Homo-oligomer: A and B are copies of this chain.
Amino acid sequence: MPNSINFADSLAAHAMIKGNPVVVGLDPRADQLPAVFTRRFRASRPTWQEVAEAYRLFCREIIDVVAPLVPAVKPQAAFFEQCGPDGMMALADVIQYARHRGLIVILDGKRNDIGSTAEAYADAYLGAGSVWGADALTVSPYLGDDSLTPFVNVARQRNSGIFVLVKTSNPGGGQFQDIRSDGVRMYERVAAYVNSISLPGSGRFGYGEVGAVVGATYPEQLSELRAAMPNCWILVPGYGSQGGTALDVQGAFDERGLGAVVNSSRGIIFAHRQKGYQEKFGEARWQAAVEVATCDMIEDLRTHTHAGRLSAVVEPEA
């Protein structure tokens, strides 16, 4: 079923209905899976086909747990690609399953290329009718405006979205992103451009189909970038395992609690290995650990950010 409302509005609706801005990152790693999935592996070294199948089943179970709780999931393409073509089949299944369970699917692929090649990526990934069927894709900006335009055009046609890397959460992110020219840093230039291409597609809540990725590990920049990109949803990675807290991400939200979604991957999907959940649930009850970790993150964000206002957002006039 093709998406019938614009991506930004759909993301807002999902966040309001669930009353929180949590994105669960699906970053499966073979060495951290609960034993119920690895038990089927051959004794010494599993085949990539076995690993891919374990990822598929593991992610489906995660989706079953989190679908009633959160608005979106973010599969990380790299871990599926690591399994070769079998991994890609698993990825397609996971995307379809998450959508079937009513979740928004943001595929984290950080793709890009020039002109007609970018168009092929956009056609491949964006929208329910596409062959992969994601609602949104993360995209890299280094190749410039004409590499982003094909994504924006396809996203607009198909009520889907993209999130352009603006300020990433890794320690080395600043090497090129923080370079200052005429007083303006590279990531600020990218942010200004990203907002300019999102603006024309703005929906009922003022946001368009072009969002931005800004790491939770840079709290000051999150507030600055919220102001600099009034028409862009911000996808915030780096909460939890990477060190970002609810206080760190509060600047990403607007007054209504909209405008930002916050991702946690390991902190949720491998909660059974984390201090606090490990003792309580152990590996046997890993799904319960996922559920409680998700609820704890929701509570944390609702308490310490404007996301607490999400469930009270009043529908604007039509």
Contact = CB atoms under 8 A, between A and B. Distances in A.
Interface stretch (A34-42, A60-68, A144-152): A144-152
B85 A144 contact: no
Contacts of A131: 48, 82-84, 87
Given A110-B111, A146-B171, A81 B176 contact: no
Interface of A is mostly: helix
A221 interface: no
Contact of A143 (B78, B144, B165): B165
A144 B120 contact: no
A313 interface: no
Interface string A112-129: 111101101101110000
Nearest to A112: B110
A114 to B, nearest CB: 4
A84 B172 contact: no
Contacts of A82: 120-121, 123-124, 131
A85 B84 contact: no
Contacts of A111: 78, 110
